[in-house]
Amino acid sequence: MIATIQYNSSKLQIDLSKPLDISMPLRASKDNVNAWYVDAPKITPAKDENWIASVKDGACINFNNIEFNPHAHGTHTECVGHITEEVYSINKNLKHFFFLSEVVTVAPEKLGEDFVISKKQIRFALGNKKRDAIVIRTMPNTLEKLTRQYSNTNPTYLLEETAIYLKQKGIKHLLIDLPSVDKEKDECQLLAHNAFWNTKGKLRLDATITEFIYVPNPIEDGKYILNLQIAPFENDATPSKPVLYKVIE
């Protein structure tokens, strides 16, 4: 199922029968990936007096309530409304869903007691390539990322200079396999978020950050078409399902 996409002056081909899902599933389990000091997500049947909305409990349907936080419990896409007093909705500001993207793999650098992703690393990985989106896979890349409990672990983050560089390169969509692009405890400076969304100038309302992705090792670095699928939540962030399609060279 080969599709040809006209992108600027180039024609790119992708195989729609070979999607590469880089999202994390959300499960009602203490082993679900977690951050930001909240409890595990819950998926429970609705109840009405003596009636439980579960087929195994005698109902004719399964009818579950789901309790979770999009920022803490899995793959999510957020807009500038995540850090602004004014309300901005990801559902209102993300209006296009297919983008030319580059998958890059980086080994975080040691900086004091932290591990960081530097401008130098991303500049080397991107070179002169022009992309709408960047998908950052950090090393080591193990399945433990799917169940890790990140609270109070000081995970890897982006330096402010890195976010500025991505903005200057015209990257509109930043995807990363970490709970945040910023340091876990930074006195609420959120340097990378603010830099990427340009909060000191004209807000980049159509730019997004997607966190908690997982890029399996068989997916090679390189050029892909990204389909950034979101749930239509009127909120600063929403659960999302980014899917890659390898560009056929």
Residue pair 169/161 in contact (Cβ under 8 Å)? The answer is: no
CB 141 within 8 A of CB 175: no
Q: What is the pLDDT of residue 120?
A: 98
Judge whether 32 and 147 are in contact, CB under 8 Å.
yes
In sequence order, the β-bridge partners of residue 44 are 65
Alpha carbon distance 62, 33 (integer Å): 25
Q: What is the model's pLDDT at position 49?
A: 86
- Find tokens 């910023």 and name the residue: 182
pLDDT at 76: 98
Torsion angle, alpha carbons of 39, 43, 47, 51, to 10: -140
88, 132 in Cβ contact below 8 A? Answer: no
Q: Tens-of-pLDDT digits for all 249 residues of the chain? A: 899 999 999 999 999 999 999 999 999 999 999 999 999 999 999 999 889 999 999 999 999 999 999 999 999 999 999 999 999 999 999 999 999 999 999 999 999 999 999 999 999 999 999 999 999 999 999 999 999 999 999 999 999 999 999 999 999 999 999 999 999 999 999 999 999 999 999 999 999 999 999 999 999 999 999 999 999 999 999 999 999 999 998
Provide the pLDDT for residue 39.
Answer: 97
